[in-house]
Amino acid sequence: ASGGLRMGGGSQEFTWGVNASYLEQNDFNNAQSGSEDDPFKNKTAGFNLAYKPTDRASIDFVTRYSDADADADWQDCVPSPGNDPCPQVVSDSLPDSSSFEQLYAGLTGTVGFFENRWTHQLFLATTDTENKSVFQFRDFVDPGLVLVDTFNADGTLNEVRYQTNWDFARDGVAAGT
């Protein structure tokens, strides 16, 4: 199942937009062998707002939220050295899971001088991410031994950027000539 929604509008000074999407699948297999189908879900929503009071100044805000979950068995069978590569099927006996959640927000302000030949831009953003995965698999030598590998990554990235530009040529003519 999947679906999405996008709406927006605005005027000469203001524009806005909102979007949301959803995807759910139960028919993918990322194992090197085997045929098990594993579920995947992804939900995303976003919003943007722009304000342009003059042709020389603007402020833009963007935010996005994503949430994804996947159950995947990267090992659908237990190989034995020197034998059939997959003599023992272990589908769903060791479910692996991965979850991802992220919130992003960015704000950009731009101002121009000298007929917008010289522009200044300030960008502020934050990204908060939470990623968790659990992988379970059987030992190749001793299939009765279950090994577990976990991964967690939680963090926030904050950005501040400033950029200035000078437009030396406008309409194919260098400035000052």
- Judged by average pLDDT, the poorest of 5-14, 49-58, 78-87 is 78-87
Question: What single letter denotes the amino acid at residue 56?
Answer: R
Q: What value does the mean pLDDT take over residues 28-46?
A: 72
Give the CA dihedral 136, 139, 140, 142, nearest 10 degrees.
-150
Q: What confidence score (pLDDT) does residue 77 get?
A: 56
Rg (CA), the chain: 25
- In the structure, what pLDDT confidence band is assigned to residue 91 with cuts at 50, 70 and 90? very low
Q: Quote the mean pLDDT of the chain.
A: 81
Q: What confidence score (pLDDT) does residue 84 get?
A: 54
- DSSP structure string for 73-92: -S-SEE--TTS-S-SEE-TT
Specify whether the CB–CB gap between 84 and 130 falls below 8 A. no
User: pLDDT tens across 113-147, in order?
Assistant: 998 899 999 999 999 999 888 777 666 667 677 77
Tokens of 34: 């085997």
- In the structure, what pLDDT confidence band is assigned to residue 64 with cuts at 50, 70 and 90? very high
Q: What value does the mean pLDDT take over residues 141-155?
A: 76
Specify whether the CB–CB gap between 149 and 135 falls below 8 A. yes
The pairing of strands 77-78 and 88-89 is antiparallel
73 CB burial (10 A radius; 0-12, 13-18, 19+): buried
Specify whether the CB–CB gap between 44 and 23 falls below 8 A. no
Q: What confidence score (pLDDT) does residue 104 get?
A: 95
Q: Is the pLDDT of residue 50 over 70?
A: yes
Q: What value does the mean pLDDT take over residues 144-167?
A: 86
Is the pTM higher than 0.85?
no
Q: What confidence score (pLDDT) does residue 26 get?
A: 74
